A and B are shown apart, each in its own frame.
Chain A
C-alpha cells in the first residue's frame, strides 16, 4: 500500500455508562503511512477523529502485553500488528469489557 492512501477500519464502540451493553462497530477512514500498526490507527482516531475512543497501551513495542485486541476475531497485540485495509478491531474476548476495546486485565 502507498503512503497517504486511506484505509478503512471498523472499531468496536461500547459505552456502558450510557446503558449500551451490546455495543456496535463504527467505521473510520485513516490516512495510511508505511509501517502503520493497529495501535497507530487507534491513536489516529483518538487524536484526529473522536477523543472518546478508549484503548489501553503502555510500552508500544510488544513487551507489556497490555494492548491485546481482537483483529478480525483473532487476539493480537495492537502495537506490533501491521494495519491493513478493512480490518475489524474489537476487544479481547476472554476478559470483561470496560469500554470500547479496553478490557479488564486486572487479576488483583
Chain B
C-alpha cells in the first residue's frame, strides 16, 4: 500500500477519454483558462470509435448549404426538422432538451472543426433522414484537426491510462483512480470536476464494428457514483457486418456498400427477406434498427448461411458497374477496405457474396445528461457516445460524430464554469484504499478464473440473449447466468501473468467487471420493456406500444443492485404519437408523413 499515493495528479477538470468528445471537451476547458488533464486508455488519436468513423457528420440541410457551401443542401430543412427526424427514428425515446442542443449547435461546432482543418468531401442523405444532412469526412481528418487545437492549447495527457473508478466526496465527483497500463502504476487524480467521454460499450458483444477498448467502464463508474443510466435496452446494431473471415469479424464494409450501392440481402433460399419488413425502402433505404431485426430473425429461424450470417450479394450488378464503383465508392476504392486488400481475403465482390450479420455499433443509451451535459451527480459531466438521451431508441446515421463534438464543447464549457473559483476538494482516503485493493486483486490472486474465458462467456451470451431480437425466457436465462458470473467468476479472476508493465490480462480483468454490469443493466431494462421499439425487438411483444411505453427506463445503482424506474416522455416542441399499439415493421417515417406527427411550431 505504500505506493498508493506515489502518483497523484491534480487538475481543475479531469476529462476521461481522448477522442471526439474528450478532445473537444478539453479544448473548451482550456479556452476558458481552466486547467485540464485528459486520461485515456489508449494513445491519443490511436483509439476510440471517432477515428473509425468514415462517413457522415450531420448538420441541418440548410446549414449544409449556407454554412458549408454544399450544393445539395436544402434550405427547407432546419434545426426543428432535424429534431423531428431524430424523434421519429428514435421512436420518441429522445430527451428533447438534449436533442435541441444537438441540432441547434451542430452547424456551429462542426464549422469550427472545418476552420481547424477538417476536410469535407461532399454531402449525402443517409437512410431515415428526409433531407441530405450528412457532411462527408473521415474520423482521421477530424482528429487531425482536433489534435492541432489540443497542441495549441498545450493540453496535458495521461495516455495508456485506464480509469476504473470515480472518487466522490459528499455526493460530488472529485477525481478518479486508475492504472498507467504502460508501467502498472496506480494513479490518483484529484479534480474539481470530471467529464466522462469514454464512448460506448459495444465490446460486451463478440461481433462489433467498434474498437477493442470500448468495454463500458465509463458508464459503470458513473453508475456506481450515483449517476442515472437511461435507454440502456437500446444498443444499436449495424446490420450486414461481416461474420467471416475471423480477422474481419464485425467489419462494416458489407453494410456500407449495400446502402451505397444497393447490395442485396439474401437468406439461404435466395429470398430478399427485407421485402417483408420494409418493402418500399428495401436494403438501400431501410433504417438500421429494422434491418438488424429482419436479419437476425432470418438467422435465428435457420435461414442463414454456414457461418451464422445472411448473404450480402452484389452479383446482380454487372462487373463493369462494380469496377466503376471501385473508382468512385470510397468504401471499397480499388477493391480495398481500409487497409484490407479484398482479393487477399477472398472478399472480392465480383467473385463472392459476403456472409454478414448485425454487429454492435453504437450505444444509444448511457449516462443521463441535461442540455448542459450535466449528470445528476454534481461535478460529473458526460459527453459523446457515453451520454444517453440524444438518440432515444435508434440513432440516425451521422448524428454520433455531431453529438461528440457538440456535447464535448458543451460539457467542457459547463465544467469550466463549475470549477471557476472553486477550491481543490478533498478526496476520501477510504475510497482510494478500497479501489486500490480491488484493482490489484486479480494480480494477487492465484489459480482463479481465466479472464479470456470469462470475457468470451459474457460476449457470447450477450449476443445470444440480448442481441437485436430478445424474449422473456432468454432474458431470464441471461440474468441467471449474469448472477453466476458475478458471484463465481468476477470476484475470482486471477492473472497468470504477474508483471505490471502492459499486462493485458490485468486490464482485461478490470474490464470484465464493467462488461458484466453493463450487460446486466441491458438485460434488466430489456426484460422490463414489454414491447418492441427501435433497436430492441421483443419477439414475445412484436409491436410498438405507444399506449403504455412512451417512457424511458432509468437505472440507478443502489446497495450493489440495479434499480429500475420508468419516466414518461415529456416534450414541448415535438408532438408525441397517438397512444396506440402499432406494428413494429411499419417505417414510422411513412406513417408520419400520413399525418401521424407534427411539431407544435408548425401548427
Is the C-beta of B46 less than 8 angstroms from some C-beta in chain A? yes
The residue in B46, B51, B212 that gathers the most chain A C-beta atoms within 10 A of its C-beta is B46
**Which residues on B sit within 8 Å (CB–CB) of A39?**
247
Contact between A66 and B182, CB atoms less than 8 A apart: no
Residue A58 contacts which of B42, B251, B346, B495 (CB distance < 8 angstroms)?
B42
Residue B160 contacts which of A16, A37, A106 (CB distance < 8 angstroms)?
A106
Contact between B47 and A66, CB atoms less than 8 A apart: yes
Q: Across the two chains, which residue of chain A brings its CB closest to B495?
A: A51
A62: min CB distance to chain B, Å:
3
Contact between A60 and B211, CB atoms less than 8 A apart: yes
A37 to B499: give the CA distance in the assembly, Å. 27
Contact between B339 and A79, CB atoms less than 8 A apart: yes
Since A40-B247, A55-B504, A108-B159 are in contact, a sample of 9 more A-B pairs with Cβ atoms closer than 8 Å, ordered by chain A residue number, is A35-B346, A46-B504, A47-B452, A51-B495, A58-B46, A61-B340, A63-B338, A106-B160, A108-B44
Residue A61 contacts which of B43, B159, B339 (CB distance < 8 angstroms)?
B339
Q: Across the two chains, which residue of chain B brings its CB closest to A38?
A: B247
Is the C-beta of A80 less than 8 angstroms from some C-beta in chain B? yes
Q: Across the two chains, which residue of chain B brings its CB closest to A80?
A: B339
Is the C-beta of A29 less than 8 angstroms from some C-beta in chain B? no
Is the C-beta of B435 less than 8 angstroms from some C-beta in chain A? no
A-B contact count (CB 8 A): 127
**Which residues on B sit within 8 Å (CB–CB) of A52?**
496-497, 499, 503, 505
5 A-B pairs with least C-beta separation: A62-B339, A35-B245, A80-B339, A52-B497, A66-B46
A25: min CB distance to chain B, Å:
18
A104 to B54: give the CA distance in the assembly, Å. 27
Is the C-beta of A9 less than 8 angstroms from some C-beta in chain B? no
Contact between B251 and A61, CB atoms less than 8 A apart: yes
Residue A59 contacts which of B52, B157, B160 (CB distance < 8 angstroms)?
B52
Is the C-beta of B156 less than 8 angstroms from some C-beta in chain A? yes
Give residues of chain B (265-311) contacting chain A, Cβ–Cβ below 8 Å.
none
Is the C-beta of A17 less than 8 angstroms from some C-beta in chain B? yes
**Which residues on A sit within 8 Å (CB–CB) of B42?**
56, 58, 64, 66
A39 to B54: give the CA distance in the assembly, Å. 22
Q: Across the two chains, which residue of chain A brings its CB closest to B452?
A: A47
Contact between A54 and B503, CB atoms less than 8 A apart: yes
Residue B499 contacts which of A15, A34, A56, A80 (CB distance < 8 angstroms)?
A15
The interface bits of chain B over 37-71 (1 if a CB of A lies within 8 angstroms of the residue's CB, else 0) are 00000111111100110100000000000000000
The interface bits of chain B over 334-351 (1 if a CB of A lies within 8 angstroms of the residue's CB, else 0) are 000111100011100000
Residue B211 contacts which of A18, A58, A104 (CB distance < 8 angstroms)?
A58
Contact between A80 and B497, CB atoms less than 8 A apart: no
**Which residues on A sit within 8 Å (CB–CB) of B322?**
none
A100 to B504: give the CA distance in the assembly, Å. 12
Contact between A59 and B247, CB atoms less than 8 A apart: no
**Which residues on B sit within 8 Å (CB–CB) of A92?**
none
Is the C-beta of B502 less than 8 angstroms from some C-beta in chain A? yes
The interface bits of chain A over 76-108 (1 if a CB of B lies within 8 angstroms of the residue's CB, else 0) are 010110100000000000000011101011111
Q: How many chain-B residues does the 8 Å CB contact rule pick out?
A: 47
Is the C-beta of A70 less than 8 angstroms from some C-beta in chain B? no
Contact between B245 and A66, CB atoms less than 8 A apart: no
The residue in A51, A53, A64 that gathers the most chain B C-beta atoms within 10 A of its C-beta is A64
B346: min CB distance to chain A, Å:
7
A80 to B340: give the CA distance in the assembly, Å. 6
Is the C-beta of A57 less than 8 angstroms from some C-beta in chain B? yes
Q: How many chain-A residues does the 8 Å CB contact rule pick out?
A: 43
Contact between B502 and A99, CB atoms less than 8 A apart: yes
Residue A63 contacts which of B139, B213, B245, B504 (CB distance < 8 angstroms)?
B139
Is the C-beta of B600 less than 8 angstroms from some C-beta in chain A? no
Contact between B212 and A63, CB atoms less than 8 A apart: no
B487: min CB distance to chain A, Å:
23
Contact between B46 and A65, CB atoms less than 8 A apart: yes
**Which residues on A sit within 8 Å (CB–CB) of B140?**
63
Q: Across the two chains, which residue of chain A brings its CB closest to B455?
A: A47
**Contact surface of A with B, Cβ cutoff 8 Å:** 15-18, 33-37, 39-40, 46-47, 50-66, 77, 79-80, 82, 98-100, 102, 104-108
Is the C-beta of B248 less than 8 angstroms from some C-beta in chain A? yes
User: Can you report 30 A-B residue pairs in the complex whose CB atoms are below 8 A from each other?
Assistant: A15-B501, A17-B499, A33-B246, A34-B245, A36-B246, A46-B504, A51-B451, A51-B505, A56-B42, A56-B43, A58-B51, A60-B212, A61-B248, A61-B251, A61-B337, A62-B339, A63-B51, A63-B54, A63-B140, A64-B42, A64-B45, A64-B52, A66-B42, A79-B247, A82-B344, A98-B182, A104-B182, A106-B44, A107-B44, A108-B155
Contact between B452 and A18, CB atoms less than 8 A apart: no
Contact between B52 and A63, CB atoms less than 8 A apart: yes
**Which residues on B sit within 8 Å (CB–CB) of A46?**
452, 504
**Which residues on B sit within 8 Å (CB–CB) of A62?**
338-340
Give residues of chain B (330-368) contacting chain A, Cβ–Cβ below 8 Å.
337-340, 344-346
Contact between A58 and B504, CB atoms less than 8 A apart: no
A51/B43 contact (C-beta < 8 A), A62-B338, A108-B157 known: no
**Which residues on B sit within 8 Å (CB–CB) of A77?**
339
Residue A106 contacts which of B43, B246, B338, B497 (CB distance < 8 angstroms)?
B43
The interface bits of chain B over 435-464 (1 if a CB of A lies within 8 angstroms of the residue's CB, else 0) are 000000000000000111000000000000
Contact between A61 and B46, CB atoms less than 8 A apart: no
Contact between B499 and A18, CB atoms less than 8 A apart: yes
**Which residues on B sit within 8 Å (CB–CB) of A35?**
244-248, 345-346
A57 to B502: give the CA distance in the assembly, Å. 13
A64 to B47: give the CA distance in the assembly, Å. 6
A58/B160 contact (C-beta < 8 A), A46-B504, A52-B496 known: no
A83: min CB distance to chain B, Å:
9
**Which residues on A sit within 8 Å (CB–CB) of B160?**
106
Is the C-beta of B570 less than 8 angstroms from some C-beta in chain A? no
A46 to B450: give the CA distance in the assembly, Å. 12
Is the C-beta of B35 less than 8 angstroms from some C-beta in chain A? no
The residue in A16, A46, A106 that gathers the most chain B C-beta atoms within 10 A of its C-beta is A106
**Which residues on B sit within 8 Å (CB–CB) of A108?**
44, 155-157, 159
Q: Across the two chains, which residue of chain B brings its CB closest to A66?
A: B46
Q: Across the two chains, which residue of chain A brings its CB closest to B210?
A: A59
**Which residues on A sit within 8 Å (CB–CB) of B51?**
58-59, 63-64
A24: min CB distance to chain B, Å:
16
Contact between B338 and A80, CB atoms less than 8 A apart: yes
**Which residues on A sit within 8 Å (CB–CB) of B495?**
51
**Which residues on B sit within 8 Å (CB–CB) of A36?**
245-247
